[in-house]
C-alpha cells in the first residue's frame, strides 16, 4: 500500500502553471528577469521576416518582431491570448507560420515533448523556432531550490537535451546565447549595482546565465528522384551480357585459316 502511494506521487499529473508564472513576472524579481530576457530576444526578432509569428503561452507582453506582419498568441485560457488550445493540440495548420516563440513554455509544460512537437509542426520549411528557457547551472538555477514561488516546479531542461530533440524534429540550431547573469533581488537599486556583471559576462559569452536562448531553423530536405520498385526488380534479375563464340563465328575462323 505504501509503495502504491509513493508511485502515485511520482506519476501525479502536473497542473497548468502558465497563470502562476505570469503572476510571478509581475513581481520585482520577475520584472528584472523580463528586462534581461527582452534584451536577449529583441535583437534576435529584428532578424526575422515573414507574415506570421506565433507566441505560445507568453508569460509577459510579447516582444514584437518589426519585420513580421502578423503576431498571434495562443495557449492557456487563463492568459490574455487570442486563441485557446491544449498544449498537445494547436489549432494551426502545418507549415503556416514563419517563427514560433516559446518563452519558458517548455519549463512549465505538462509535456515538453508535446509542446515542442506542435511548435515544430507549425513552422514552415526554412522558418525558425526561438526558445527561451531557464538554465539550471546558474545563480537563478540555485534560486529556484530555495524559493516557494512557481519556479520550484520548473523543468529547467539543459540546452543540450533540447538541441537533441530539435535534431530529431528536423531542426538545426543556429544560435545559442545566455543572459540573466546577475542575481534577482527585491531591491531595484541593489539590483542595478550588478549591471556591470551582466555586461561583463555577456561579453565573455559565459554559459552560466540564468536563462538561455536557442534559435533553430527547420531544415529543407532536397528532393531525390525515386526509381520505381518494378524497375529496381528488373535491374536485379536482368542477365549480364557475356560474349561467346557462335558456330557461325567458328566456321568463319576456319575459313580464314584455309585462305592463308
3-state secondary structure the chain: CHHHHHHHHHCCCCCCCHHHHHHHCCCHHHHHHHHHHHHHHHHHHCCCCEEEEEEECCCCCCCCCCCEEEEEEEECCCCCCCEECECCECCCCCCCEEEEEEECCCCCCCCHHHHHHHHHHHEEEEEEEEEEEECCCCHHHHHCCCCCCHHHHCCCCCHHHHHHHHHHCCEEEEEEEEECCCCCCCCHHHHHCCHHHHHHHHHHCCCCCCEEEEEEEECCCCCCCCCCHHHHHHHHHCCCCCCCCCHHHHHHHHHHHHHC
Nearest to 26 by CA among 115, 109, 150, 142: 150
The pLDDT assigned to 204 comes to 58
Same domain as 91, residue 54: yes
In a domain, 158, yes or no: yes
Structural domain contains residue 4 = no
191 shares a domain with 68: yes
Classify residue 2: in a domain, yes or no.
no
pTM recorded for the entire structure: 0.77
Laid out side by side, the sheet with 68-75 consists of 83-84, 68-75, 50-56, 97-103, 123-134, 211-218, 171-179
In a domain, 8, yes or no: no
Same domain, 133 and 248: no
Same-domain status, 139 and 210: yes
CATH of the domain at 194: 3.40.50.150
**What is the model's pLDDT at position 7?**
37
pLDDT for res 64 = 94
Question: Over its length of 260 residues, how does the chain's per-residue pLDDT go in tens digits?
Answer: 443 443 343 334 467 899 999 999 999 999 999 999 999 999 999 999 999 999 999 999 999 999 999 999 999 999 999 999 999 999 999 999 999 999 999 999 999 999 999 999 999 999 999 999 999 888 888 888 888 899 999 999 999 999 999 999 999 999 999 988 888 877 666 666 666 666 666 665 777 788 999 999 999 765 444 545 445 454 554 555 444 455 555 554 555 555 55
Question: Is residue 203 domain-shared with residue 184, that is, in the same domain?
Answer: yes
What range does the domain containing 249 cover?
229-259
Residues 234 and 106 placed together within one structural domain of the fold: no
Residue 179 and residue 136 share a domain: yes
- Regarding whether 116 and 50 lie in a shared domain, the answer is yes
- CA 23 to CA 76: how far, in whole Å? 14
- What pLDDT is attached to residue 196? 63
- Same domain, yes or no: 236 and 200: no
C-alpha cell at 17: 502553471
CB proximity list for 193: less than 8 A, separation 6 or greater: none
Say if 3 falls within a structural domain: no
136 and 237 inside one domain:
no
Q: Quick one: pLDDT at residue 96? A: 94
For 110, list phi and psi in degrees, rounded to 5: -65, -40
Evaluate whether residue 224 is within a structural domain: no
Instruction: Look at residue 187 in the predicted model and tell me its pLDDT.
Output: 67
Domain count, the chain: 2
Residue 6 forms part of a structural domain? no
State residue 219's pLDDT score: 93
- Cα 4 to the center of its chain, rounded Å: 36
Neighbours of 22 (CB within 10 A): 20
* Phi, psi at 56, each rounded to 5°: -105, 125
Neighbour-count burial for 76-104, b at 16+ CB within 10 Å, e otherwise: beebebeeebebeebebeeeebbbbbbbb
Whether residues 174 and 55 share a domain: the answer is: yes
pLDDT for 55 equals 98
Return d(Cα 73, Cα 223) in angstroms, integer.
Answer: 34
- Contact call for residues 101 and 75 (beta carbons, < 8 A): no
Are 147 and 51 in the same domain? yes
User: Can you name the residues that pair with 211 across neighbouring β-strands?
Assistant: 134, 179
Amino acid at each position: 500500500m505504501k509503495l502504491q502511494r509513493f508511485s502515485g506521487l511520482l506519476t501525479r499529473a502536473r497542473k497548468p502553471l502558465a497563470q502562476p508564472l505570469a503572476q510571478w513576472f509581475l513581481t520585482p524579481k520577475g520584472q528584472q528577469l523580463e528586462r534581461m530576457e527582452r534584451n536577449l530576444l529583441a535583437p534576435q526578432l529584428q532578424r526575422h521576416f515573414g507574415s506570421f509569428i506565433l507566441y505560445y503561452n507568453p508569460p509577459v507582453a510579447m516582444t514584437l518582431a518589426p519585420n513580421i506582419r502578423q503576431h498571434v498568441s495562443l495557449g492557456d485560457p487563463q492568459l490574455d491570448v487570442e486563441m485557446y488550445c491544449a498544449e498537445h493540440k494547436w489549432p494551426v495548420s502545418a507549415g503556416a507560420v514563419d517563427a514560433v516563440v516559446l518563452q519558458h513554455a517548455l519549463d512549465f509544460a505538462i509535456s515538453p515533448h508535446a509542446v515542442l512537437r506542435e511548435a515544430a509542426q507549425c513552422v514552415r520549411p526554412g522558418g525558425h523556432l526561438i526558445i527561451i528557457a531557464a538554465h539550471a547551472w546558474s545563480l537563478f538555477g540555485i534560486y529556484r531550490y530555495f524559493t516557494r514561488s512557481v519556479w520550484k516546479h520548473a523543468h529547467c531542461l539543459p540546452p543540450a537535451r533540447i538541441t537533441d530533440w530539435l535534431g530529431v524534429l528536423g531542426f538545426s540550431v543556429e544560435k545559442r546565447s545566455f543572459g540573466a547573469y546577475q542575481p534577482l533581488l527585491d531591491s531595484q537599486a541593489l539590483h542595478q549595482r550588478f549591471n556591470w556583471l551582466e555586461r561583463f559576462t555577456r561579453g565573455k559569452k559565459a554559459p552560466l546565465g540564468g536563462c538561455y536562448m536557442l534559435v533553430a531553423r527547420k531544415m529543407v530536405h532536397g528532393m531525390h528522384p525515386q526509381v520505381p520498385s518494378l524497375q529496381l526488380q528488373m535491374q536485379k534479375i536482368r542477365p549480364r551480357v557475356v560474349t561467346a563464340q557462335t558456330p557461325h563465328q567458328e566456321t568463319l575462323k576456319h575459313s580464314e585459316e584455309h585462305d592463308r
